[in-house]
């Protein structure tokens, strides 16, 4: 494929902007470059990508600088793209929230199960519309309005389609509750758990959460808890050991509910397991379901089961804080049948308690939704039957989806009416439900517009994410290449120097050295350059000094290499005397040598030095030496 076609196909806008010139130079040295750029599918699996530009020797210093610049540009571009992504995500969320606001933050749906095979269809008390249920019984007709009605043949997918947007809100950081309510046998468990062939809301939601998470640019983690409530007692379904099977034993080991003055409730000791992926989530969920199935065998028809997913989001723009939201999925046990079958004793108590709790629950939801100061939590707490629901993360869930499950049979009409009344109460919490047709149409139009906005923002966001992914891939490659070429430059610098180089670096450049002379002549005026005579004087002085130093056994080689910047602690008196002698006899020694009179000489040196005649000390305060030094300096200036 020609390079340009491949380039067009990749459409790497960012890359082209920032790295155009660098690419062209890379192409010259590595014609394979574009043909080896990753395809879209390859970008998803960075680990499998081929290594680009392994031959670092082809990168010149100039290209290296360009590479560094490209890295900086690319980093800037990625940051800008991330900002754009955040803005688009905000736009999407805004649109979704508006949609949910218009639709109502409590959405109440109704699902009617198929006729049980054993039931005779004498009369059908329910007439179902799209959003309306009409109940006819004992000569009375009553209408109930819902957000949507799922008919008997509605597949699980159709129900889940209504749940999906609310899950998005949970991932966006809102508390969400999905609650199925209805009398026993109406299909709550079928709707929430489903079967292997027809998975319900919970398994689908778990899968969807992980699916949605793959598009997130912030790190999102999930953890799961599952519990069961029966007669006010809670049972941890994910606890490591399910030691008991009987209710009595269970009752002694129930969980503890703590409430603070604000009414926030935490379930003390509830197991919370991290779920890294969908497979793990499915495993824990199956374990919880098994635990529920194997206990309370006589009572689980009337128990409630709750699945809680804690979503923790760590986003850059949260400045290190973690945003936590909760998703509750509740299968609320019904007990109407217990009452109907003439239950007595404890069974009757259960039924009464649950009905009263439901009534109290309705009050609490209503109070919260109307933002009343006084919220009657106590009513629910007092009954302790649906106590878990007092966890405010349910009541304060910004989004609540209630699915009322009904049985279409004539003999269940009493319970059906009871459930419909509860649903109406929950739904009535949302004001402006009863709107004129025109307004309803306008709202519908607005919802469609918002849905378009949301889709647009989402598509745009996805494009930006792809760009970020590509740019990040390129950045990684650039960094790899840069670190390799940088390393090779460093290696060159650290490589053992050639003998010629060593000569130049370690030796004092010979005066007569052509290169040095050329430099000197070029950087100084001609009158300042040294004459032949001054150079001869300088070299004879140096020879004399070095010869004397060699003659002294106690003088180390290193101690002769003193300089103005060195502080030398020399203890050898003979060395000092020799240097003095050298200074006295030869007035052409290096001026720097005068600094050997450094005050850093130690005490014994000073004492030894003091024993010498004062005039012999190398000291600039000595008038004779001062003259000598001055002369010496003048002569030295000739050398420069």
Ligand X SMILES: Nc1ncnc2c1ncn2[C@@H]1O[C@H](COP(=O)(O)OP(=O)(O)OP(=O)(O)O)[C@@H](O)[C@H]1O
Q: Which residues bind ligand X (CB under 6 A)?
A: 113-114, 182, 184-190, 301, 333-334, 405
- Reading the block at residue 560, the tokens are 């002769």
- Reading the block at residue 413, the tokens are 């009409």
d(C-alpha 461, C-alpha 633), whole Å: 75
d(C-alpha 398, C-alpha 572), whole Å: 89
In 3D space, the residue among 564, 456, 541 whose CA is nearest the CA of residue 91 turns out to be 456
The nearest distance, CB 152 to ligand X, in angstroms, is 7
The nearest distance, CB 383 to ligand X, in angstroms, is 19
Cα angle 271, 277, 281 (rounded to 5 degrees) comes to 45
Helix (H) or strand (E) holding 270: none
The nearest distance, CB 148 to ligand X, in angstroms, is 14
The nearest distance, CB 428 to ligand X, in angstroms, is 24
333 vs 589, beta carbon nearer ligand X: 333
Cα angle 346, 347, 348 (rounded to 5 degrees) comes to 90
**In this structure, are residues 425 and 203 in contact, taking their beta carbons and an 8 Å threshold?**
no
Q: What is the DSSP string of 345-384?
A: HHHHHHHHHHHHHHHHHHHHHHHHHTT-S---HHHHHHH-
The nearest distance, CB 115 to ligand X, in angstroms, is 10
187 vs 362, beta carbon nearer ligand X: 187
111 vs 587, beta carbon nearer ligand X: 111
Name the residue with the smallest CB distance to ligand X.
Answer: 187
Query: Which residues contribute to the annotated binding site for ATP?
Result: 182-189
The nearest distance, CB 34 to ligand X, in angstroms, is 56
The nearest distance, CB 405 to ligand X, in angstroms, is 6
- Reading the block at residue 433, the tokens are 């439900």
Please state whether beta strands 106-112 and 148-150 pair in parallel, antiparallel, or not at all (unpaired): parallel
154 vs 608, beta carbon nearer ligand X: 154
210 vs 296, beta carbon nearer ligand X: 296
**In this structure, are residues 588 and 540 in contact, taking their beta carbons and an 8 Å threshold?**
yes
38 vs 203, beta carbon nearer ligand X: 203
| Exposure string for 602-627, b = 16+ CB within 10 A, e = fewer | eeebeebbeeeeeebebeeeeeebee
188 vs 632, beta carbon nearer ligand X: 188
- Furthest-apart CA atoms within the chain: distance in Å: 138
The nearest distance, CB 161 to ligand X, in angstroms, is 15
368 vs 402, beta carbon nearer ligand X: 402
Please state whether beta strands 399-406 and 132-137 pair in parallel, antiparallel, or not at all (unpaired): unpaired
Query: Which residues contribute to the annotated binding site?
Result: 182-189
Ramachandran angles phi, psi of 158, nearest 5°: -65, -40
Residue 314, beta-bridge partner list: 219, 322
């Amino acid at each position: 494929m020609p390079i340009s076609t491949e380039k067009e196909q990749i459409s790497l806008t960012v890359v082209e902007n920032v790295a155009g010139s660098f690419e062209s130079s890379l192409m010259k040295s590595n014609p394979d470059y574009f043909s080896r750029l990753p395809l879209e599918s390859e970008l998803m699996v960075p680990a499998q990508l081929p290594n680009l530009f392994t031959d670092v020797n082809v990168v010149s210093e100039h290209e290296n600088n360009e590479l560094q610049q490209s890295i900086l540009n690319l980093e800037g571009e990625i940051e800008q793209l991330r900002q754009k992504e955040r803005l688009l995500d905000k736009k999407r969320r805004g649109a979704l929230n508006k949609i949910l606001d218009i639709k109502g933050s409590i959405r109440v749906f109704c699902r009617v199960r198929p006729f049980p095979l054993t039931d005779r269809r004498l009369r059908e008390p329910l007439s179902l519309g799209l959003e309306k249920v009409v109940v006819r019984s004992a000569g009375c007709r009553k209408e109930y309005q819902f957000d949507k009605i799922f008919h008997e043949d509605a597949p699980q997918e159709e129900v889940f389609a209504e749940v999906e947007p609310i899950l998005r809100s949970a991932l966006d950081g809102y508390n969400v509750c999905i609650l199925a309510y209805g009398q026993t046998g109406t299909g709550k468990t079928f709707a929430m758990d489903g079967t292997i062939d027809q998975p319900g809301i919970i398994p689908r939601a778990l899968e969807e959460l992980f699916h949605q998470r793959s598009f997130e640019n912030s790190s999102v983690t999930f953890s799961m808890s599952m519990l069961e409530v029966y007669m006010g007692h809670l049972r941890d379904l994910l606890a490591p050991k399910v030691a008991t099977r009987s209710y009595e034993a269970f009752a002694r080991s129930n969980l503890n509910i703590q409430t603070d003055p604000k009414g926030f409730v935490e379930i003390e000791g509830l197991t919370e397991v991290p779920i890294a992926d969908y497979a793990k989530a499915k495993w824990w969920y199956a374990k919880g379901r098994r635990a529920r199935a194997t206990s309370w065998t006589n009572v689980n028809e009337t128990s409630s089961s709750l699945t809680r997913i804690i979503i923790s989001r760590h986003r850059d723009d949260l400045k290190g804080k973690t945003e936590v939201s909760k998703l509750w999925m509740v299968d609320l046990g019904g007990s109407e049948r217990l009452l109907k079958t003439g239950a007595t004793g404890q069974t009757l108590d259960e039924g009464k308690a649950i009905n009263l709790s439901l009534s109290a629950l309705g009050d609490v939801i209503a109070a919260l939704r109307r933002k009343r100061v006084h919220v009657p939590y106590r009513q629910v707490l007092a009954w302790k039957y649906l106590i878990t629901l007092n966890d405010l993360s349910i009541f304060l869930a910004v989004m609540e989806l209630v699915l009322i499950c009904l049985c279409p049979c004539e003999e269940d009409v009493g319970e059906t009416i009871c459930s419909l009344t509860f649903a109406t109460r929950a739904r009535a919490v949302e004001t402006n439900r009863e709107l004129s047709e025109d307004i309803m149409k306008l709202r519908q139009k607005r919802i469609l517009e918002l849905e378009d906005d949301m889709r647009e923002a989402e598509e745009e966001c996805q494009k930006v994410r792809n760009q970020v992914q590509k740019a990040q891939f390129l950045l990684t490659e650039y960094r790899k290449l840069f670190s390799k070429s940088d390393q090779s430059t460093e290696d060159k610098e650290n490589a053992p120097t050639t003998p010629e180089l060593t000569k130049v670096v370690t030796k004092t450049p010979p005066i007569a050295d052509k290169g040095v002379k050329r430099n000197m002549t070029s950087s100084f005026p001609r009158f300042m350059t040294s004459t032949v005579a001054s150079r001869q004087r300088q070299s004879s002085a140096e020879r004399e000094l070095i010869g004397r130093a060699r003659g002294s056994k106690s003088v180390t080689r290193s101690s002769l290499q003193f300089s103005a910047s060195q502080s030398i602690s020399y203890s050898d008196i003979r060395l000092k005397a020799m240097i003095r002698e050298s200074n006295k006899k030869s007035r052409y020694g290096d001026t720097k040598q005068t600094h050997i009179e450094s005050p850093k000489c130690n005490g014994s040196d000073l004492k030894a030095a003091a024993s010498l005649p004062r005039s012999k000390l190398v000291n600039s305060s000595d008038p004779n030496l001062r003259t000598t030094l001055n002369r010496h300096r003048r002569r030295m200036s000739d050398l420069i």
